[in-house]
């Protein structure tokens, strides 16, 4: 198997490349400087040169609020770029994993969203990621779509690093407590994606670390584990306005993952502790 990883310099792509290396799986990691996915000709040139048998497509526009000001750029990367990758996979018969997001759902209620529940994104980022899902489904007969949420990893910026930085600067921090979801540690997700791409168990999956929390609860656990004396003031979403609408409910049902025989990820608290021990 020859695996091509897009977005190799991002949080997830970085750990996927590391996991492929640890498994001695033939692979190449590319980022925008090596393969601008918005340029269809560039994508096909890279695919022709490397001839991958599988692609883990991690590259994406992920600046959720900025996307409200740059909707066309966000669409070009998340929709057009994904279609270009899917078309290149189809042309050479390569498997494809597309990384999607909890933002494809409207985020209401307190239920766990199942893979085939109604999607209705409420912000540009979510709309373009859903458009990417549809591009994959329209292009390929067999595919993996993996929705994740609240990502943190060693490479790049994330909520944990932000909390650690703010905790050094302040005695108390306001954090929203009415958005509920599951953190996803990229070092735990990467092995699952490698297992998945090595299989033919195609479909739409949800994959996060086990357990749920609010952003405020996530912050409290960060400070508890690190021993930082920082008070977390729990506030509602409407007290912290942002350009993009965030889903209040990001709970994702992972029964399809279990039914397919894939291993569940560890609980998010365990993942956080391991992550912080490496910082």
End-to-end CA distance of the chain: 33
Task: Give Dmax over CA atoms of the chain in angstroms.
Answer: 56
Would you kindly state where each structural domain of the chain is located, as residue ranges? 2-158+184-209+251-265
Tell me the pLDDT tens digit for each residue of 211-238: 999 999 999 999 999 999 999 999 999 9
- Sheet strand arrangement including 203-206: 26-30, 2-6, 54-57, 95-101, 144-148, 203-206
Hey, what are 59's tokens?
């590259």
Hey, what are 162's tokens?
């932000």
User: Catalytic: which of 61, 125, 185, 275?
Assistant: 125
CA atoms in the 13 A half-sphere facing the CB of 107: 20
**Is residue 278's pLDDT more than 90?**
no
**Is residue 275's pLDDT more than 80?**
yes
0.85 exceeded by pTM: yes
Please state whether 90 falls in left (phi above 0), alpha (psi between -120 and 50) or beta.
alpha
Among this protein's residues, is 125 annotated catalytic? yes
For the chain, what is the mean pLDDT?
A: 97
Tell me the pLDDT tens digit for each residue of 58-113: 999 999 999 999 999 999 999 999 999 999 999 999 999 999 999 999 999 999 99
Find out whether 19 and 158 touch, Cβ atoms under 8 Å: no
Span 2-158+184-209+251-265: which CATH code? 3.40.50.720
């Amino acid at each position: 198997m020859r695996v091509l990883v897009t977005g190799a310099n991002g949080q997830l792509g970085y750990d996927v490349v590391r996991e492929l290396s640890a498994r001695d799986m033939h692979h190449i990691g590319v980022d925008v400087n090596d393969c601008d996915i918005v340029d269809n000709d560039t994508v096909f040139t890279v695919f022709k040169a490397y001839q991958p048998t599988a692609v883990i497509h991690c590259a994406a526009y992920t600046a959720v609020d900025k996307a409200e000001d740059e909707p066309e750029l966000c669409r070009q990367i998340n929709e057009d770029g994904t279609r270009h990758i899917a078309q290149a996979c189809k042309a050479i018969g390569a498997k494809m994993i597309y990384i999607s997001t909890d933002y494809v759902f409207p985020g209401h209620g307190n239920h766990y969203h199942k893979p085939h529940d109604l999607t209705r994104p409420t912000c540009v980022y979510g709309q373009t990621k859903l458009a990417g899902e549809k591009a994959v489904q329209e292009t390929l007969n067999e595919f993996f779509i993996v929705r994740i949420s609240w990502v943190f990893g060693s490479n790049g910026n994330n909520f944990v690093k932000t909390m650690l930085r703010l905790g050094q600067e302040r005695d108390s921090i306001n954090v929203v407590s009415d958005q509920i979801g599951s953190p996803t540690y990229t070092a735990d997700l990467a092995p699952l994606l490698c297992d998945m791409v090595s299989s033919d168990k195609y479909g739409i999956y949800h994959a996060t670390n086990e357990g749920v929390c609010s952003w405020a609860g996530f912050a409290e656990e960060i400070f508890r584990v690190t021993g930082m004396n920082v008070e977390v003031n729990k506030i509602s979403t409407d007290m912290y306005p942002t350009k993009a609408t965030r889903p209040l409910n990001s709970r994702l049902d992972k029964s399809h993952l279990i039914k397919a025989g894939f291993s569940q990820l560890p609980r998010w608290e365990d993942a956080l502790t391991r992550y912080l021990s490496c910082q």
